[in-house]
Amino acid sequence: MEKSDFNKILSKFKIASVDGKIEIYTTTEGLNNEQYKELLMWFPRTELDRLEKALG
């Protein structure tokens, strides 16, 4: 994914609710491993169980 496109996604991700973050993380296509890791840096650690359930 282009850097500028990812930056737009990251900006939305940072301000989204936990549900919004989960939706962005699970539905955005074309991200590489580093981009997924960067999104995870902005995801609340206390809610990782919810993300895992959404992915599983």
Angle at 10 between CA 7 and CA 16, to 5 degrees: 145
pTM score, whole prediction: 0.91
Tokens found for residue 2: 């282009």
Q: How far apart are CA 30 and CA 1, in angstroms?
A: 6
Contacts of 8 (CB under 8 A, 6+ apart): none
Q: What are the pLDDT digits (tens) for 1-56? A: 888 999 999 999 999 999 999 999 999 999 999 999 999 999 999 999 999 999 99
Among residues 19, 14, 27, 6, the alpha carbon closest in space to that of 51 is found at 19
Tokens found for residue 47: 């809610």
